[in-house]
Structure 1
């Protein structure tokens, strides 16, 4: 019973600590070319919170690479999304990584994609996930590479297609976690 109470308290404190990110994120397009990074920090706080709620701790060797991986993935998909709005963003004076990266976007996305996959690999290794997890990571890396290499950043509909395709990237990772856990 005491352990459950401790987990609830820790989860509530961790959840409440995300409020600064939640409140500040909508303003970031006015102040920085990196609002996608703030979105990643905000969205992926759930990795920390979920782990703490289920495990009752924050194993930094598992949750920190997982968190960083999620932030990097968000930078990939939300930068692709931001390319849909870059002309409008310029008109109204808001900022984004799409505007910041410009013609170098694919190079930046490649770096963030590699960092995301590296974080997932490290987190999976530290969580002692079985070999199927890494096979799924290989498939996920192919999907992410396909997105980055084939996206036409000047075509709104293609950016939207690639952005939406991230549901499959997430599903592949989820499948890998399940398969890796069942095999270990």
Structure 2
């Protein structure tokens, strides 16, 4: 038995979600409420953009963005499962997802998306109009994402655009359309970070993805997955350093990135692509990487 084939199916869960009665449990699983790592990864770039732009005291906005991350990540997962239902049914880890298994109909799933989107709309209305415009552009990226694995061997590159859109939204919330120069390298770093950690995540599914015939950066890198992840994380750190320098041109400010640099270095250098459990652990560790980066942005933003 390979490491990949031993991965726990997505239907297996513990805690509060397991205690929910059916069919509520199916809807919670569909939105991945039982897997908070997804909304943590969506949320952290929001915090980085807000803090690095100098809005270090806007804790109410941080809370709104957390709620928005939970709701929109849930809506994105439901939409992805609707589009990928046939593929999910052919992959061991995802075959028992609610739509793929038939536990939730596509019509009911669309209604669930509408409810989650309504929650997201409440959050959207808390933003200044410039940030609202930026946030709405993300919907175009989200709609296209599930199809990328069918047309490219690098779907993680598109996910990097989608899953880190909170950084430009939060930056514009803090500054409007002024002082945009640091946003470019910040967003590039977020993109590289996301592509790196999702390549690690995709190591779990390399065999199934190859059999089904869908693209994955973990497959496209071939024998060079660790080198690819290392290069992506190095690009992320270099880009973030550029953003920090544009905000505060002081060598001491760059030292704030040291903890997250050490953490990402550990992930990349200890990664074993054929170890599914190890890959999943390193992927999940990015919630801590996000916290370290948030602390760095807070210190830098506070000292501006």
Which TM-score applies when normalising by structure 1?
Answer: 0.90
Contact 1:129/1:180 (<8 A) preserved: no
2:297 to 171, 177, 181: 177
In the aligned structure 1, how far is the partner of 2:150 from the partner of 2:240?
A: 31
The worse-fitting range, judged by mean Cα deviation, of 124-133 and 19-28 is 124-133
The structure number with the bigger radius of gyration is 2
For residue 57 of structure 1, give the secondary structure of its aligned residue in structure 2.
coil
SS at 1:61 equivalent? coil
Report the CA distance shift for 1:57/1:34 in structure 2 as closer, same or farther (over 3 A). same
Match of 2:276 in 1: 156
Match of 1:28 in 2: 148
For residues 145-166 of structure 1, the C-alpha deviation after alignment (integer angstroms, 9 at most, x for no partner) is 1111101110110000110111
Equivalent residue in structure 2 for 1:136, among 256, 264, 268: 256
**More moved, 80-89 vs 8-17:** 8-17
Question: Number of residues paired by the alignment?
Answer: 178
Matched, 1:81 2:239: no
| Residue number among 230, 234, 246 corresponding to 1:126 in the alignment | 246
1:182 and 1:28 mapped to 2: Cα distance?
39
The answer as to 2:177 corresponding to 1:57 is yes
Which structure 2 segments of 5+ residues have no match? Answer: 1-126
2:166 is aligned to 46
Choose which of 100, 107, 130 in structure 1 pairs with 2:227: 107
Query: How big is the shift at 1:72?
Result: 0.2
Q: Matched residues in 2 for 1:173 and 1:131: separation?
A: 17
Of residues 122-131 and 37-46 in structure 1, the stretch that sits farther from structure 2 once superposed is 122-131
Distance 1:136 1:11 in 2: 27
Q: Is the 8 A contact 2:226 2:272 kept in 1?
A: no
TM-score (norm 2): 0.56
Gap change, CA 1:107 and 1:182, over 3 Å in 2: same
Higher helix share: 1
Runs of 4 or more consecutive aligned structure 1 residues displaced over 3 Å after TM superposition? 129-133
C-alpha separation between the residues in 1 aligned to 2:225 and 2:178? 34
Tell me, yes or no, if the aligned pair for 1:133 and 1:177 is still in contact at 8 Å.
Answer: no
Counterpart Cα distance in 1 of 2:207 and 2:178: 42
